[in-house]
Amino acid sequence: MHREPTAEGAIAVSAALDRPDARAPTLERGRALIAAALLLLSVAPDVGAAAARAEEALAIARALGDEHLRVEGLCALATVNAYQGNEQTLLAVADEGLRTARRLQDTQLTSWLLGQWATARRLSHDERVRAYKESLSIEREAGNQVMYLRTLNQLGGLELEAGHIDAARASLLEALRVARTIGDRRGLSLYTCNLGFAAYLDGDDTGARTMFDESLQIARRNGDALTAARTQTGLALLASRSGDAHAAASLHGLADAIHRQLGTVSVGLEARLRDADIARLREALGRTAFETAYGQARSPQQTSWPSVPDGSIPI
């Protein structure tokens, strides 16, 4: 059964790292810093804190001359830059990590870095698909279901960007099936959200709303603010297409407020859909009315959402 990362775990690891007697630049501290960085990305996400942990781990690895720790640090830093949309840094970090991971014949780190490298939109579609498929092959052979799920989702998202909706849906439905099998609740929310975007692009607004609502419910239960932000963007697009411009502007404001608090941004297809829709809404409502509806949702009290009781989401 898949075990979810928890906020408590991130807090515990960070507290241990911050103890005065734990600050020596040892291999053990470096490994704990990597764990803390990945937990911070998974459960908060606190991108700034994760970046600081990853950079410290990388500095320790370079000072010690430990190649495996260096690649692990590069993996974490690549993930941070993928969250932030810093493609130039992402590619440089991932390239350095991939060269070393392949030389060390570390298939897990190779797979992880391939997945991060392939998120860069400046690469061609074919380059990205090849990287994801190589990563999937490695993960299937290793039996690593968690990383296999991550890569299926990334490939599904890429196919959505290219307009290959059937191919995207196939990858995402396979990810959803495996997530249910291993009990990956965060994955359930993420893959369901992306299936919502697939339905939206296919003109199936009823199906899209069902997917976004289900994803948001699971995200609330998990405390997964990033996926919650993405579902709000999806619901905003649906409200806009149905003609409810005020609701759409408010939902976009809420999504952007959550992203701002997390230090993340919309990327790729989602960002393009968001930007185009906001431009249409500004024109339709007028600048003042749009900013009023959008700004109300960006106020701090509007960015929290209640938890869903345990046991309410069947898997």
The pLDDT assigned to 10 comes to 58
Determine the average pLDDT of the residues in 50-70: 94
What is this structure's pTM?
0.70
Determine the average pLDDT of the residues in 100-124: 93
Which position has the higher pLDDT, 6 or 291?
Answer: 291
Determine the average pLDDT of the residues in 235-249: 97
Distance between CA atoms of residues 22 and 32, nearest Å: 10
Q: Give percent above pLDDT 90 in the chain.
A: 66
The pLDDT assigned to 43 comes to 66
Determine the average pLDDT of the residues in 159-180: 94
CB 42 within 8 A of CB 68: no
CB 193 within 8 A of CB 218: no
CB 78 within 8 A of CB 117: yes
Sorted by where each begins, the domain ranges of the chain are 1-84, 214-315
Determine the average pLDDT of the residues in 1-9: 48
Which position has the higher pLDDT, 83 or 125?
Answer: 125
The pLDDT assigned to 314 comes to 28
The pLDDT assigned to 275 comes to 98
Each residue of 68-78: pLDDT tens digit? 999 999 999 99
Residue type, 209: R
The pLDDT assigned to 3 comes to 46
- For the chain, the average pLDDT equals 87
The pLDDT assigned to 13 comes to 66
Of 132-136, 220-224, 310-314, which one has max mean pLDDT? Answer: 132-136
Each residue of 83-110: pLDDT tens digit? 888 999 999 999 999 999 999 999 999 9
Each residue of 13-51: pLDDT tens digit? 666 676 776 678 889 999 989 988 888 887 656 788 889
Contacts of residues 32-39 at CB distance under 8 Å and 24 or more positions apart, as own/partner, are 33/57, 33/60, 33/73, 34/69, 34/72, 34/73, 34/75, 34/76, 36/10, 37/76, 37/79, 37/80, 38/5, 38/76, 38/79, 39/5, 39/9, 39/10, 39/13
Each residue of 255-314: pLDDT tens digit? 999 999 988 889 889 999 999 999 999 999 999 999 999 998 654 444 444 333 333 322
Residue type, 228: A
The pLDDT assigned to 113 comes to 95
